């Protein structure tokens, strides 16, 4: 019997309403789901079953403390449902640090993984998306961890995006091997020497401008830099979209013409929308944990549930385990 995806009904800026709506839509679309949260606050969940959890970890709570103290929170209960074999995967749009903590402490790590990393899918219109890892789990990293992020990122690109032989780049500030801070230089040396094994096609350093291009399939960096890149991209894309819409609405522009142009831009806007890719995945924990954007709508939750279901079906966790296992 297939297990349902456990959805944190209380996490996210638009929780519980948007989350409940997303879970209902996902059920209608054929996904097996269960909502975890406070039944009184979640309201009518339609045919989606509920797993009661009466505490809520708020968006800006200290993650470490919250995970330790709120044992009856929707996040902890969702993680426990996976651990205890009642759910196949967890999805949350809530406090990212707490979601990571819940998954890490309840699932445990995959054998051999030093630190889990968040893998985010960055849309590259006209080309395969780029996987950015780590995009925020570890503010401070060692070079050896980056080698594992390369291994796990390559598996994720293959499994999630169908890239047969992902090209893995190391984010730095120049293409030459000698460029970068000490972490980047040390990681370059390890990756260049083949420390990531034959599964990683290391193409050398890449730069910020390459993240949203076809230059690499996987971009590896520490979680501080990765998160800054992600937020910078979000900000600049939001800005660019706003500028274009303003231009189309300006007085000199004919309505039918602006409609025609909008029609050509809409598929692009949809592809760039962070909601389309359905959330980031925490790689390296011994289970599937999908972390959706804090501002997730019902549609984002449906997509995140889809990502979770496919990760389970594709055996993502066992493929990651095989990739990080020491040779021999």
Residues that bind a copy of itself (CB under 8 A): 60, 62, 125, 136, 139-140, 171-173, 176, 178-182, 184, 207-213, 222-225, 227-240, 243-244, 246-248, 250, 252-254, 256-258, 260-261, 263-265, 268
CB of 191 vs a copy of itself, minimal distance in Å: 17
Residue nearer to a copy of itself on the CB measure, 45 or 95: 95
CB of 137 vs a copy of itself, minimal distance in Å: 11
Residue nearer to a copy of itself on the CB measure, 69 or 247: 247
CB of 252 vs a copy of itself, minimal distance in Å: 5
Q: How far apart are CA 3 and CA 51, in angstroms?
A: 14
CB of 174 vs a copy of itself, minimal distance in Å: 8
Residue nearer to a copy of itself on the CB measure, 161 or 241: 241
CB of 219 vs a copy of itself, minimal distance in Å: 10
Residue nearer to a copy of itself on the CB measure, 300 or 308: 300
CB of 255 vs a copy of itself, minimal distance in Å: 10
Residue nearer to a copy of itself on the CB measure, 26 or 131: 131
Residue nearer to a copy of itself on the CB measure, 30 or 126: 126
């Amino acid at each position: 019997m297939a297990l349902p995806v456990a959805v944190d009904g209380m996490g996210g800026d638009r929780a519980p309403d948007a989350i409940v709506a997303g879970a209902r839509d996902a059920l209608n679309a054929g996904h097996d789901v269960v909502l975890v949260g406070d039944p009184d606050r979640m309201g009518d969940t339609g045919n989606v079953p509920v797993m009661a959890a009466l505490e809520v970890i708020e968006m800006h709570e200290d993650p470490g403390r919250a995970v330790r103290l709120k044992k009856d929170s929707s996040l902890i209960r969702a993680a426990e449902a996976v651990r205890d074999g009642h759910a196949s995967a967890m999805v949350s749009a809530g406090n990212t640090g707490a979601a990571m903590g819940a998954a890490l402490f309840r699932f445990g790590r995959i054998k051999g993984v030093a630190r889990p990393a968040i893998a985010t899918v960055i849309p590259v219109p006209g080309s395969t998306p780029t996987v950015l890892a780590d995009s925020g789990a570890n503010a401070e990293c060692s070079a050896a961890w980056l080698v594992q992020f390369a291994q796990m990122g390559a598996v994720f690109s293959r499994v999630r995006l169908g890239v047969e032989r992902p090209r893995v780049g190391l984010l730095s500030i120049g293409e030459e091997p000698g460029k970068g801070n000490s972490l980047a230089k040390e990681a370059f040396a390890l990756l260049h020497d083949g420390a990531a094994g034959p599964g990683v096609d290391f193409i050398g350093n890449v730069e910020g401008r390459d993240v949203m291009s076809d230059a690499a399939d996987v971009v590896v960096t520490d979680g501080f830099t990765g998160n800054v890149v992600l937020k910078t991209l979000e900000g600049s894309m939001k800005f660019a979209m706003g500028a274009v819409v303003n231009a189309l609405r300006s007085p000199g522009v004919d309505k039918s013409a602006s409609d025609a142009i909008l029609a050509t831009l809409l598929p692009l806007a949809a592809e760039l929308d962070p909601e389309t890719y359905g959330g980031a995945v925490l790689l390296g924990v011994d289970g599937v944990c999908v972390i959706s954007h804090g501002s997730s709508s019902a549609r984002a939750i449906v997509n995140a549930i889809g990502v979770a279901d496919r990760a389970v079906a594709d055996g993502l966790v066992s493929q990651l385990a095989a990739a990080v296992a020491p040779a021999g």
